[in-house]
Chain A
């Protein structure tokens, strides 16, 4: 347990040092390099010391309980395979730190660089040493994040920002897929522990979720390892500082994908699906990467595509599902890391010294920097697979595996040919790199005059090239044992027989190697002149810029689609909002109805009254007409609405509710008058264009009509269902039985109002009074805003009249009636006393028959407002003193006094007393105290209604706020 705890510092130290590095001042480049270098070297040595524990299939595990209730543990686990990767990460990390010390310019803020680099190293170590898959995903995402930060290190550079963003987008999306895949694995296996998962390979492969798991995990791995078609981010990531490219995009991060595929190889590999998906991706990547690499002009671009191609090779090896293929894949991972890192370092040196990475502007550098040139040549020979170098060995193994027969498919048959072709391409681009940069004439336009870099800048590359050579010549003695334990960690005890030596005799793989070498050299001979001047990128394909496609997708997803969605989902206008609301209500109701089953109340037509039906038909027609005319002719709509209201009143009478009918009638009259006054300020009609109604408009109207019919029918149906239902016990019976006995009245509604629920009524009239005052005070200062629509006709008449009355003294008293409404105005004036008498009658009979204070009050108000309408505000106010506020106050006081009166006699508030008294001439008159209370109601209702109506009527003597009406000016 103590020994295994070594894994914790292994992963955590880089993060800790990273924080320290961040805190240092920005010019402390040497200190930074020292602490970063020591950290990396220390970890390297620490790892190396662990080898005995992981040799021969052993593994170190360390478990930290984190949230045991949820089964979440931190598990670190190092086996031979993870050990090999840890060595690569720390070792190359160390070399990159040295290199970066000389590469980064003094102006660069290095603390950020080293901090990110170390944190990235920690994340990567976390990935390879995780014993828990969730934990692995967390570190995986951390590598994406730090890679983003490192690529975007020179954030003032647009290319760096774009490259960083693209890398993050693609790899993070891949990481998300990976997480989903891992969660599915956890669902299948029941554990995220790596050992448990590795032991349940057959269970996962047999599960019905296998394909989703496979696809999701592979997307994760492919995005990270830049497999076709997710490779587009890698070339753009080359805008990172070269040490970053050398570390992340050759040796470590891009290897995480193939690392994961290898890690889960025992679980996922060996099925036809695996072979098809992985093989296809690997083969396409191998070939396309190599082909594209030939045509790059940027050295780093060439190396990037070469990296893509080599990763494709590893993927292809892994796809085969044979143990030997796996060994070759692991071997090639290590080899590629060494030679590619050294090549990137060489590219960085060239860039640093010559000031450009464009191969068209470079040449003949061999004479100027022979050591660097030699290093680069050896490393690219390894890349091309020249014998005596490590690249050759793994490539031989690849060829041997490619010609093996694995599965009956075109893919398998094509493998050897693809392998040879891709190797030939590899040879071509390697030669192109060496020849283009180090040989030929020194171009005149080279930005700087290059010379050998400082020794310590070359040292890392030198060490790496040395490893290439040593491994290439003495593979068995150097890497053999480590490779064995790494492979064993993945494969377990069933290790295949293989031999690591440079000479296997004359066999097919050797022939393929020779073929590839020769073909590659010939191909370079053909392309040489074209490449010397050609544009960046391969012919035809260069139009197909991965970055542009990516940008376009990003823009589409983040802006275009968003706009589109907003225009669909966003509803700024009220009309569609209301429509949507009605529609949703309808849908919800219909859904509920269909799910629950619709009841079938029997509709008995037997006792239908023809006259009543006809009456309702008129009412319905009026209502529909009102709705239809609401937009184009408000006055018609109002008249029709009055018709519908009238039918309602008649229905009430028909159904023996005369008091309801009366109230309804009076309310109807008052509201109509109110709206009429309001209409004054609105244009009379919008001209309907009958000819030019487009199809779209028709469709919209049709849809709205359907919606309206649906909602109406639904509501009617619901109302019907409720009505025919046996009602539950209601309170109505109580009032019917007790109205006369307890309240002393036969008009039950009125008794309820003034007696049973007197307190409520008292509250209500108070509210009514407040409302009236509010309306009045709001309208008192109201002046309508100037409108951009032409003034309606009646308003023009009015203003003409007003304009004239302003001028002449006589016109002051003239009424509107002079202009129009002549006959009605006379009738209305005559009606005044009649209505007052009628109101009084209504009030008195209220106790026993339909009527009451409320109705009487409204009727009285109607009498007043009719005068206003008939003769105009000025005319009426000249002749009548209406004091609505006093009426209101009196009403409230009377009502309250009645209530308090009960207290005087020792009864609760608002207790009423009822009796009849005999008056001469009139006869028996009810004299309940409720009658006084009712008078309070009458007074308040009358006052409040008149106040509101007057407030509106006063609008007629106001002018528009802004400019005067045009017609008024013409007249003046």
Chain B
């Protein structure tokens, strides 16, 4: 092997581990029949953790495969977040799989493939790699969304997601080809160089707009959010948990890389787009969630809103902003996984329930669960001193640094409105008449919920080191 190739392979080792692992597990699943699910899930978790360990311990910094792939501190950090999202989702799915006849070994394999796509997205350093990663994760997600083929809702959700996703992918591809047509390059670094000199042409702006539209679809930011509530509600809960966690990390990382990194010289152009998208997401996320009755649908609007807040930091287009985005996404991941662990634990004897009214009086029937969910909800609402508050704090601070006062003010107001529906859940749990408790929580869910609660509650303790890591990661672009 040429030294160039071996360097490339070593930089992309975590991706390779996952890719090979996914193929092997697919074979294991296909040949060992119906009961393979638990084994495959366990092995998938092991492979993903292995990839994560390799990523943290051995992966260096550099560019691979002719600059198509880049590994830097930002990429590594976001990849770790993505892997955490995937691993936790898989762990949480085990109990659900047993209880709900969801034993499909394809699920862990698809999650792995999707994770692989996400990691390629995060490390993408040219448009081809970007598209490749994006489509790999999307295709897996389309299938995963509709994985419960016997459920009309799930099928419908998958189909809708596919149609809209294909449309937005098409738009993005159109944008990429325009960018290529006007700069003559696909590499991010070359595009940046091309943007530095010369006037900006219309085609390039079009290209940028369409590219951002495609990525905005993946992070479910308004106005490309329409699929989110349907998919969240329709898909089986472990799938929803996955949708809420890992892909958001990857798409947000990609967005950061494309805007702040590649299109840094034309920050003015995309900043306005992001400000609009951010405001629209925050406001819609806050208002549309109020009337929801299904907790998964509520979480969909919640995630739309949260992406809006994260974008506040990105819209600031400065180092503090990127740091804010990184911290925000970390905290969001923690809160979301915890909340979904809770939703997965909403089981009665006759199956899972998803309606918010089912939480009534939970403080009586299961005080521990109720307390942790209360902490999570307070955190999602952004109430100090919980983690959610600090996430918002960093992004708003960055926005104010960048003199985006209107954005910051609207963000704060939206979070006040948003607090309403989080608090409503708390109120229902603590003050309404009990409607009967849930089954005891499965061990793995208890673990996830506990860790998430502790993370949110004790965030103050380790926010220093985390901030330092985020700072290093953000430095990549400045």
Contacts and interface: CB of A to CB of B under 8 A. Distances in A.
Interface of A: 155, 161, 176, 558-559, 561-563, 565-566, 569-572, 574, 577-578, 580-582, 584-585, 588-589, 592-593, 595-599, 718, 721-722, 725, 727-729
A430 to B, nearest CB: 39
B168 interface: yes
A429 B200 CA distance: 77
B77 interface: no
The listed residue with most B CB atoms (<10 A of its CB), out of A566, A572, A725, A727, is A566
Enumerate the 6 nearest inter-chain pairs by beta-carbon distance, A residue then B residue, closest first.
A562-B290, A728-B184, A562-B291, A577-B226, A592-B205, A566-B291
Nearest to B210: A585
Contacts of A581: 164, 167-168, 223-224, 226
Contacts of B209: 588-589, 592
Contact of A577 (B160, B201, B287, B290): B160
23 contacts: A558-B420, A559-B290, A561-B290, A562-B287, A562-B288, A565-B290, A566-B288, A566-B290, A574-B159, A574-B163, A577-B160, A577-B226, A577-B227, A581-B168, A581-B224, A581-B226, A584-B224, A585-B171, A588-B210, A588-B213, A593-B206, A599-B201, A718-B203
A577 B210 CA distance: 17
A718 B224 contact: no
Nearest to B223: A584
Contact of A572 (B167, B168, B213, B230): B230
A904 to B, nearest CB: 22
A580 B226 contact: yes
A722 B203 contact: yes
B385 interface: no
Interface of B: 159-160, 163-164, 167-168, 171, 178, 181, 184, 200-203, 205-206, 209-210, 213, 223-224, 226-227, 229-230, 273, 284, 287-288, 290-292, 416, 420, 431
Nearest to A587: B223
Contacts of B223: 580-581, 584
Nearest to B168: A581
Given A558-B420, A722-B178, A569 B184 contact: no
A664 to B, nearest CB: 20
A577 B184 CA distance: 34
Given A176-B416, A597-B202, A718 B184 contact: no
A718 B206 contact: yes
Say what secondary structure dominates the interface of chain A. Answer: helix
Given A572-B229, A593-B202, 6 more contacts: A562-B287, A566-B288, A569-B284, A572-B230, A599-B202, A728-B181
Contacts of A725: 181, 203
SS class of chain B's interface: helix, strand, loop or mixed?
helix
A571 B226 contact: yes
B287 A569 contact: yes
Nearest to B420: A558
Contacts of B226: 571, 577, 580-581
A570 B181 CA distance: 37
A726 to B, nearest CB: 11
A718 B287 contact: no
A578 B165 CA distance: 10
A565 B288 contact: yes
B411 to A, nearest CB: 14
A929 B98 CA distance: 55
B426 to A, nearest CB: 13
The interface centre, meaning the residue of A161, A572, A585 with most chain B CB atoms within 10 A of its CB, is A585
A565 B292 CA distance: 11
A729 B184 contact: yes
A593 B209 CA distance: 11
A134 to B, nearest CB: 13
A722 B181 contact: yes
Interface centre among A155, A561, A584, A588 (most CB of B within 10 A): A588
Contacts of B163: 574, 578
Contacts, number: 91
B231 to A, nearest CB: 12
Nearest to B205: A592
Q: Name the residue in A161, A558, A563 with the highest tally of chain B Cβ atoms < 10 Å from its Cβ.
A: A558
A577 B200 contact: no
B168 A565 contact: no
A493 B351 CA distance: 74
B23 to A, nearest CB: 13
Contacts of A596: 200-202, 205
A563 B289 CA distance: 10
A369 B201 CA distance: 92
Nearest to B229: A570
Contacts of B203: 718, 721-722, 725
Contacts of B167: 578, 581-582
A498 B26 CA distance: 93
Contacts of B227: 577
B206 A589 contact: yes
A585 B291 CA distance: 28
A589 B171 CA distance: 11
Nearest to A583: B223
B290 A558 contact: yes
Contacts of B431: 155, 161
B469 to A, nearest CB: 21
Contacts of B229: 570, 572
A852 B55 CA distance: 46
A778 to B, nearest CB: 11
A139 to B, nearest CB: 15
Q: Which of A561, A592, A722, A725 has the most CB of B within 10 A?
A: A592
Contacts of B200: 596
Contacts of B213: 584-585, 588
A580 B226 CA distance: 9
Contact of A569 (B164, B178, B201, B288): B288
Contacts of B290: 558-559, 561-562, 565-566
A372 to B, nearest CB: 37
Contacts of B178: 718, 722
B288 A570 contact: yes
A592 B227 CA distance: 25
Contacts of A577: 160, 164, 226-227
Given A572-B230, A578-B167, A565 B206 contact: no
Contacts of A595: 205
Which of B178, B288, B431 has the most A CB atoms < 10 Å from its CB?
A: B288
A744 B201 CA distance: 41
A595 B269 CA distance: 10
Contact of B202 (A563, A588, A592, A729): A592
Contact of A592 (B181, B206, B416): B206
Nearest to A570: B288
A613 B67 CA distance: 45
Nearest to A597: B202
Contacts of B287: 562, 565, 569
Contacts of A558: 290, 420
Contacts of A598: 202
Contacts of B171: 585
A721 B171 CA distance: 17
B453 to A, nearest CB: 22
B27 to A, nearest CB: 14
A314 to B, nearest CB: 30
Contacts of B224: 581, 584
A328 B284 CA distance: 50
Contacts of A589: 206, 209-210
| Residue of B203, B213, B226, B229 contacting most chain A CB atoms (<10 Å) | B226
Contacts of B184: 728-729
Nearest to B200: A596
A571 B227 CA distance: 9
A721 B203 CA distance: 8
Nearest to A563: B291
Nearest to A715: B174
B291 A565 contact: yes
A312 B291 CA distance: 39
A116 to B, nearest CB: 16
